[in-house]
Amino acid sequence: MSDRIILALVVVLGVPAALVGYLALIEWLVRGVSNHWRPRLRPWLWLLPVLAFLGVYLVYPSLKTIYLSFLDASSQKFVGLDNYRYIFTDRTNLISLRNNVLWVIFFTGAVVTFGLLIAVLTDRVRYESLARGVVFLPMAVSFVAAGVIWRFMYDYRPPSLPQTGTVNALLGAVVPGFTPHAWLIQRPLNTFAIIGASVWMWTGFAAVILAAALKGVPADVLEAARVDGAGEWQVFWRIIFPLLGTTIAVVTTTVVIIALKAFDIVYVMTNGNYDTDVIANRMYKEMFNFRNFGRASAIAVILLCAIVPVMLYNLRSFRTQEATR
Amino acid sequence: MRSGRFFIVRQPLVLLAFVCLLAACSSNNNNKANGGNAANNAAKPVASSIAPAPGAAGTAQPGSPAAAATGAASRTASAATARAGSPTAGGTLGDPGAAALAAAGGKKLGGSVNVLGTWGGSEQDSFLAMVKPFEDATGVKVNYEGTRDLNAVLTTRVQGGNPPELAGLPGPGQMAQFAQQGKLIDLGGVLDVNAMQQQYPASWLQLAQVNGKQVGIFIKVALKGPIWYDPKTLSKFSNGQTPKTFDDLLALSDKIAQSGTTPWCEGMESGAASGWPGTDWLEDIVLRQAGPDVYDQWYQGKIKWSSPEIKQAWQTWGKIIANPKYVFGGSQTVLSTNFGDAGNPMFSNPPKCYLMHQGSFITDFFVKGTPGIKPITDFNFFMFPDIDPKYTGSAEVAGDLFGMFKDTPQARALIKYLATPEAQSIWVKRGGALSANKLVSPDIYPDQLAQEQAQIVTTTKTAKFDASDLMPDAMSTAEYKAILDYIQNPGSLDSILANLDKVQADAYKQ
């Protein structure tokens, strides 16, 4: 145990020390270079450690993954596009792809809509931070724990027994003649039940970012509109919404990426059974259950291809947003 | 990748720290304690699932995992024919602590050993009770960690170069894969081979061998196929007669159903492995309807799922599982009920169901679910009845295999200890486990039921090992899922089987 503590100390103190040492060293070396070359050399030397890390931990694995996706299960034989052909013809994988589309549409739609609604509404109450805190709280729960919590919420028991699941018990008490549902088993209800649980988790994230942007809407513009006789509805749609445009775009694209990468909650709640699978869970199964490196890599590449354009758009809107500040 | 900006800065540092930690673990492992990280590892399957997948793929050994998958299939299945003759009871066993000390070479070793297994709840308690004397006698701390997603967790840790010293193996199929990759340590040099051969039936030893090397050991075994009932309530319908044939069983079910109560308690939920209780049904039916040869061809991937024999097995099972008048709560309840809780309505007053098909280990869950109930008076079993009289005397068995991934003195001592009759007696006494070790005396079984089961395991004419545990993982996972789909929608059996055929064509490929 003691050598572990020493090791932890070495990592915690040693790594920053090594970085600072490196910078001191290159500054000392750069001093010896002519004035002409110094400004051209320095940024690259400063960037070098980061570029090296990026290369080793991001670029190389990505390229290797793309390469592996054209090889067979044990990465020994070249199989061309077979892995991709399999993913786009196999029923289970097609359902996963369909579910990811459902996630992108409904999860993103709900998170952004509710986030915006909560941001705008809490902006006007006195106990604003408390209200927003409550909405943001689920973000502090780990995804796995949230999955377990929602499994209990959606728990199903036959109508002849008392309902222990919160959702069934509540609806049974409120709605006359309600028969309990197996929320996680009946399709297509189950996919939406899981999406619902994720919306609970991520709405706070959208709400907090949008609320921050809302603070940036100039009060004089709003006042001018109201003086000109605009109703609250008009103020929202004509003034607030357009001014929040870039932030909404950033939030939306971020949430789209989260939807595409959805994994933990599906793994915990149904493990992809009953047609609720998503591609990230397929990738996990191919990789860790079936040890099919080819197919797992192919799914990773497909996921990458789906996410990269969204991310580029995200970065661009983020930059526009920063520029307009 | 949530935000491009943060990703660039944060990731390398996190990874660096991670790599350093890994390095620390592996450098420590040879002879030093590796304690304290059980909690971290427990979170691993989920925490590491997305981020490292491309990276892990990048650094993966180009071994031949898929090729190994078929290794299990090509091994002869009849190895599972456990025909040991009844245990040669006799001699009183020593104290488990003494056995533990002997396993440790008479030394107080100290240190710790990490063990990964599939047990949770009361099964975990029993395992911990089993290792308690070992801990006391040798001073070695046993860090046990249980997961229902054992296969994925174990594979990840083995691939990552950070396996536990000892681990439960998901089945002989997985064991063969690990052995062929050279990940498992040959226990021939660890255990006393002569003593093993005297204590264990040859068939159970062979099941844990790969290419002639003893790479695993069964620390407990189970009998699949008992059908459980509460004698007090069932007698109303059975008149003390247990069904001798499958038709009798259906007639009994009918009789109960006509009284307005569903006869069967069933539960398929089991986390990532949901659906496995159904595989036992199919195996019991195939074994008794199509016979042991078809059974072997089936798990070896030599006959199709859509072949008449296998399809018929599904249909036979469907007579029970797909009949809403037969199963408590209908398909939705079956699918959403955990296998361990499924028996509880059998003991409610009045009972909601009367019969339950589950392995010998389920008694542990019965007692946990309804405290105070006693074997024989409150629950009893009859064996899965014959379907074709030609195959009378067949039984399906299963077991918990243990293997050693890292050779440390502590790990050696523990696996030696776990193989001893003294250690296995502890779990056997607590209930829910049978032992393949012949020196575990029938007298120590907690009740007559467990004794009978132990008797069946060791004396049945044809004992076959759980087929789904012998299939490649892609195949058994697809079977689990198919079972859930079938229960939800029995009408789509043909398309379910067609899909299984597709998986089969792929999963057994080199």
Rg (C-alpha) for chain A, rounded Å, is 26
Q: What is the DSSP letter of B492?
A: G
pLDDT at B357: 96
User: Nearest-CA distance from A40 to chain B in Å?
Assistant: 23
CATH number of the domain to which A145 belongs: 1.10.3720.10
pLDDT band at A324 (very low <50, low <70, confident <90, very high): low
Out of A68, A93, A117, a domain closes at: A68
Q: Can you tell me the mean pLDDT for B441-450?
A: 87
User: Are both A262 and A155 inside the same structural domain?
Assistant: yes
User: Are both A64 and A94 inside the same structural domain?
Assistant: no
pLDDT at B116: 95
**β-bridge mates for residue B272, sequence order:** B270
Q: Is the pLDDT of residue B463 over 90?
A: no
Return all residues near B129 (Cβ < 8 A) that are at least 6 apart. Answer: B426, B427, B430
Q: How far is Cα A65 from Cα A207, in angstroms, rounded to an integer? A: 36
B450 CB burial (10 A radius; 0-12, 13-18, 19+): buried
Question: Is B274 in Cβ contact with A64 (below 8 Å)?
Answer: no
Rounded to whole angstroms, the maximal C-alpha distance in chain A is 87
DSSP letters along A33-79, please?
S-TTTHHHHHHHHHHHHHHHHHIIIIIHHHHHHHHHTTB-TTS-SB-
Structural domains in chain A (count): 2
Q: Is the pLDDT of residue A213 over 60?
A: yes
Which among B58, B156, B481 is the nearest to A64, CB-wise? B58
- Boundaries of domain holding A55: 2-68
Q: Which two tokens stand for residue B445?
A: 């079984």
Question: Mind spelling out the 3-state secondary structure of B147-189?
Answer: CCCHHHHHHHHHHCCCCCCEEEECCHHHHHHHHHCCCCCCHHH
pLDDT at B54: 32
Q: Is the pLDDT of residue B101 over 90?
A: no
* Residue A240 phi, psi (nearest 5): -65, -50
Range list of H helices, B264-362: 276-289, 292-299, 308-321, 330-336
Q: How far is Cα A187 from Cα A95, in angstroms, rounded to an integer? A: 12
Q: What is the DSSP letter of A180?
A: P
* Residue B392 phi, psi (nearest 5): -55, 140
User: Nearest-CA distance from B51 to chain A in Å?
Assistant: 10
Q: Does A8 fall in a domain? A: yes
User: Are both A54 and A102 inside the same structural domain?
Assistant: no
Question: Is A65 in Cβ contact with B2 (below 8 Å)?
Answer: no
Q: Determine which of A173-177, B225-229, B484-488 has the lowest per-residue pLDDT on average.
A: A173-177
Tens-digit pLDDT profile for residues A74-101: 888 899 999 999 999 988 899 999 999 9
Exposure letters A26-38 (e unless 16+ CB within 10 A, then b): beeeeeeeeeeee
Of B217, B294, B222, B278, residue with least CA distance to B465: B222
| Residue in A closest to B502 by C-alpha | A90
Q: Determine which of A270-274, A315-319, B194-198 has the lowest per-residue pLDDT on average.
A: A315-319
The per-residue pLDDT of chain A, averaged, comes to 90
User: Are both A27 and A160 inside the same structural domain?
Assistant: no
pLDDT at A1: 60
Q: Does A310 fall in a domain? A: yes
Q: Is the pLDDT of residue B17 over 70?
A: no
Q: Does A240 fall in a domain? A: yes
User: Nearest-CA distance from B390 to chain A in Å?
Assistant: 37
Q: Does A18 fall in a domain? A: yes
Range list of H helices, B106-145: 121-138
Range list of H helices, B322-370: 330-336, 363-369
User: Are both A131 and A270 inside the same structural domain?
Assistant: yes
Q: Report the half-sphere exposure of B341 (CA within 13 A, side-chain side).
A: 9
Tens-digit pLDDT profile for residues B54-64: 333 333 333 33
User: Are both A156 and A278 inside the same structural domain?
Assistant: yes
User: Are both A295 and A151 inside the same structural domain?
Assistant: yes
Select from A155, A288, A301 the residue whose CB has the most chain B CBs within 10 Å, as the one to mutate to test that interface.
A288
pLDDT band at A41 (very low <50, low <70, confident <90, very high): confident
User: Are both A174 and A318 inside the same structural domain?
Assistant: yes
pLDDT at A187: 85
Which among A53, A61, A284 is the nearest to B12, CB-wise? A53
Q: How far is Cα A119 from Cα A116, in angstroms, rounded to an integer? A: 5
Question: Is B272 in Cβ contact with A4 (below 8 Å)?
Answer: no
Within 8 A of B62 by CB-CB distance, chain A residues are: 74-76
pLDDT at B35: 33
The per-residue pLDDT of chain B, averaged, comes to 81
User: Are both A307 and A198 inside the same structural domain?
Assistant: yes
Return all residues near A60 (Cβ < 8 A) that are at least 6 apart. Answer: B58
Q: Can you tell me the mean pLDDT for A273-298?
A: 90
User: Are both A47 and A86 inside the same structural domain?
Assistant: no
User: Nearest-CA distance from B17 to chain A in Å?
Assistant: 7
Q: pTM of the prediction?
A: 0.78
Q: Does A77 fall in a domain? A: no
User: Are both A304 and A158 inside the same structural domain?
Assistant: yes
Which among B20, B63, B499 is the nearest to A74, CB-wise? B63
Q: Does A75 fall in a domain? A: no
Q: How far is Cα B234 from Cα B263, in angstroms, rounded to an integer? A: 10
The answer to whether the beta carbons of residues B418 and B130 sit under 8 Å apart is yes
Q: Is the pLDDT of residue B21 over 70?
A: no
Q: Can you tell me the mean pLDDT for B334-353?
A: 92
Give chain B's domains with CATH numbers: 66-223+398-467 (3.40.190.10), 225-396+469-507 (3.40.190.10)
Question: Is B333 in Cβ contact with A289 (below 8 Å)?
Answer: no
Out of A68, A97, A121, a domain closes at: A68
Q: Determine which of A298-302, B79-83, B271-275, B390-394 has the lowest per-residue pLDDT on average.
A: B79-83
Distances (CA, A) of B382 to A186, B220, B452, B462: 34, 21, 10, 17
Q: Can you tell me the mean pLDDT for B187-195?
A: 90
| Residue in B closest to A252 by C-alpha | B2
pLDDT band at A160 (very low <50, low <70, confident <90, very high): confident
**B107 vs B358, residue with greater confidence:** B358
Within 8 A of A264 by CB-CB distance, chain B residues are: 46, 49
User: Are both A197 and A104 inside the same structural domain?
Assistant: yes
Which among B58, B65, B352 is the nearest to A160, CB-wise? B352
pLDDT at B381: 94
pLDDT band at B108 (very low <50, low <70, confident <90, very high): confident
Place of tokens 């009949």: B323
User: Nearest-CA distance from B167 to chain A in Å?
Assistant: 17
Tens-digit pLDDT profile for residues B246-265: 999 999 999 999 999 999 99
By percentage, how much of chain B surpasses pLDDT 90?
49
DSSP letters along A213-275, please?
HHHTS-HHHHHHHHHTT--HHHIIIIIIHHHHHHHHHHHHHHHHHHHHT--HHHHHHTTTTTT
Q: Does A293 fall in a domain? A: yes
pLDDT at B26: 38
Q: Does A235 fall in a domain? A: yes
Q: How far is Cα B227 from Cα B383, in angstroms, rounded to an integer? A: 6
Q: What is the DSSP letter of A155?
A: -
pLDDT band at B92 (very low <50, low <70, confident <90, very high): low
Q: Is the pLDDT of residue B476 over 70?
A: yes
